[in-house]
Amino acid sequence: MIKDEITILLKEAVLEAQRRDLLPPVTMPDIVLERPQNPEHGDYASTLPLKLARSARMNPLTIAQNLVSLIQLPDEIDSIAVASPGFINFSLKSEWLTKQVEGIISSGERYGDVDLGKGAKVQVEFVSVNPTGPLHVGHGRGAILGSTLASVLASSGYDVVREYYINDAGGQMDAFYRSLYARYQQALGIDAQMPSEGYFGEYMMDIAREIIAEEGGKLSDKPAELGKIGVAKVMKTIKSDLEALGVSFDVWFSENSLFEQGQYDRVMAFLKERGYISEKEGAVWFTSTALGEDKDNVLVRSDGAPTYFATDIAYHYNKFIERGFSKVINIWGADHQGHVSRMKAVVSALGIDPGRLQIIISQMVTLKRGEMALRVSKRTGEIIILRELVDEVGPDVCRFFFLSHSADSQMDFDLELAKRHSSDNPVYYVQYGHARIASILRLAQERGIDYKEGNVSLLTGDSELALIRNMLQLPEVLELVASTLEPHHLPYYALDVATTFHNFYEKCRVISSDNALTSARLKLVEAAQIVLAKTLHLMGMTAPEKM
């Protein structure tokens, strides 16, 4: 990337300045290159002189001038300018810019990929809702976040595994089994009491009725088998809801398997050996206080049942030690926030750098229909099902909307607004850009225009160069998203590219009587299509040829 080359130039200039005594031997600050907001300030700007000024005890402008005088202009760069109070601004040469169009076309769908990960194995675990009911909109947010992050990481040189952890053990499952059993009995006309901690949603009755339709009443004396069938049905619904959103997984990992495969016993023995386990009040505890936590946590209840925390420890033991992921990314809802620090504590107790476990907390989603707020609760049955939302506004709108908010911010999703603006929507703005391009390329094909020999150096207009500059940012955006794990930059970038394209379209006629210019612009248009499609696909959205 050109950005990296400029960084190297600056670094070398500092070292050279120090060799020539133009700069005292102070330590090198981090060299950050910025994209100036004002195009008059060039393509990249560095504040390195300002950062050096204090420790070097020199005027930043003098430092800037000294550094610039030591840099030999490479081919890509048109000019390097010093600006007060101490900026160094780099402008790219338009010949170099236009040449990049060819590079984008030859890279195709792989354009923008960067090798940040260098093949490192990384796991993204997301959704992981226990199979007790359908997904609600909050889960949808996590699903979109996780699947997009996984795509970006895969394009950034990581070996990515997308994983769903099925909580098919523990107390919540018990409540589910007992609720289903009660509903089943009731549907058969037998008087049965729902457990007070049970699942009262309508869908439980649907499942019971469905099972009766398929199996009849023969499961009345086989609650275990009934439960199994119920879970399978819920999982099937969950999978299809996720598919409707364009979300898929490589691994569906069962919590139960941690007991069957022995990870649970192994990790408990491991922790005991290291002295992290204590017993009090009839229960087994993880002594997280020894690792700086506020309090200890129960691993095995006094009735002998392991907690969710205990199996999660076994699961992370499996992730890091048995499967050897160098990085594990978990996406959790805001209600799991309290689980973060003790999980990190556990990981370090396992002898693993807790920095290798990255947990993204996605904040709550509240749904509104106009002024009416809708509460989301699975237990009481007042649930806004993800599927309803997807069916109502479509997966693309859903994905774009969720993605354009940072995970840290709470969201209000106004269904009414989403539908009302459905045709006047940033999603369509971006997709329309892609469809417009497709239509231009179709026309070119119909007219039999072969633009392979087009000369891109004819692309000298402001709007043409602006579009190229914009397209060249894709690898930087990927790097940003992969390193910060903040996919919300993608939709904003997509919007940006679409805007510069629409602007170009307005100013420049692509297919005209000027054959040479037509060929050159068709190349530009094809490159723009590649960039828009790639960005949309990273977000898990479609790039329509027609709308």
Of 369-428, binders to RNA (CB under 7 A) are 404-406, 408-412, 414, 421, 423-426, 428
Nearer to RNA, 146 or 211 (CB): 146
Minimum distance between the CB of residue 212 and RNA, rounded to whole angstroms?
A: 28
Cis bond upstream, residue 49 (ω within 30)? no
The interface mask with RNA, positions 338-357, x = CB under 7 A, is: xx-x----------------
Nearer to RNA, 240 or 409 (CB): 409
The interface mask with RNA, positions 55-94, x = CB under 7 A, is: ----------------------------x-xxx-x-----
As beta bridge partners, residue 477 has none
DSSP 338-369: GGHHHHHHHHHHTT--GGGEEEEEEPPEEEEE
Q: Does 265 bind RNA (CB under 7 A)?
A: no
In this structure, which amino acid lies at residue 434? H
Q: How far apart are CA 145 and CA 139, in angstroms?
A: 10
Binder of RNA out of 278, 499, 537, 542 (CB under 7 A): 499
Binder of RNA out of 505, 517, 519, 520 (CB under 7 A): 505
Show contacts with RNA in window 206-245 (CB under 7 A).
none
The token pair that represents 451 in the structure block: 């633009």
Binder of RNA out of 43, 125, 241, 476 (CB under 7 A): 476
Among the listed residues 192, 199, 143, 139, the one whose alpha carbon sits nearest the alpha carbon of residue 173: 199
Nearer to RNA, 183 or 344 (CB): 344
Binder of RNA out of 191, 303, 353, 453 (CB under 7 A): 303
Nearer to RNA, 22 or 145 (CB): 145
Binder of RNA out of 96, 200, 259, 308 (CB under 7 A): 308
Q: Does 488 bind RNA (CB under 7 A)?
A: yes
Among the listed residues 242, 271, 211, 277, the one whose alpha carbon sits nearest the alpha carbon of residue 135: 242
Nearer to RNA, 208 or 444 (CB): 444
Binder of RNA out of 16, 18, 26, 35 (CB under 7 A): 35
Q: At a CB cut-off of 8 Å and minimum separation 6, what does 537 contact? A: 109, 151, 543
Minimum distance between the CB of residue 207 and RNA, rounded to whole angstroms?
A: 19
370 to 376, 412, 413, 414: CA distances (angstroms): 16, 11, 10, 6
Nearer to RNA, 87 or 219 (CB): 87
Asked if residues 475 and 1 have their Cβ atoms less than 8 Å apart, the reply is: yes
Q: What is the dihedral of CA 291, 292, 297, 299, to 10 degrees?
A: -10
Nearer to RNA, 109 or 335 (CB): 335
Q: How far apart are CA 247 and CA 502, in angstroms?
A: 30
27 to 12, 48, 71, 520: CA distances (angstroms): 13, 12, 20, 47
Q: How far apart are CA 148 and CA 116, in angstroms?
A: 17
The window from 133-141, 208-216, 227-235, 439-447 that contacts RNA (CB under 7 A) reads 439-447
State CA 278 to chain mean position distance.
Answer: 39
The window from 7-15, 167-175, 388-396, 532-540 that contacts RNA (CB under 7 A) reads 167-175
Nearer to RNA, 232 or 443 (CB): 443
Q: Does 361 bind RNA (CB under 7 A)?
A: yes
Show contacts with RNA in window 115-134 (CB under 7 A).
130
The token pair that represents 281 in the structure block: 């009040």
Asked if residues 425 and 414 have their Cβ atoms less than 8 Å apart, the reply is: no
Binder of RNA out of 74, 171, 216, 351 (CB under 7 A): 171
Binder of RNA out of 335, 391, 392, 450 (CB under 7 A): 335
Gap between the terminal Cα atoms of the chain: 35
The window from 170-178, 208-216, 389-397, 534-542 that contacts RNA (CB under 7 A) reads 170-178
Nearer to RNA, 100 or 288 (CB): 288
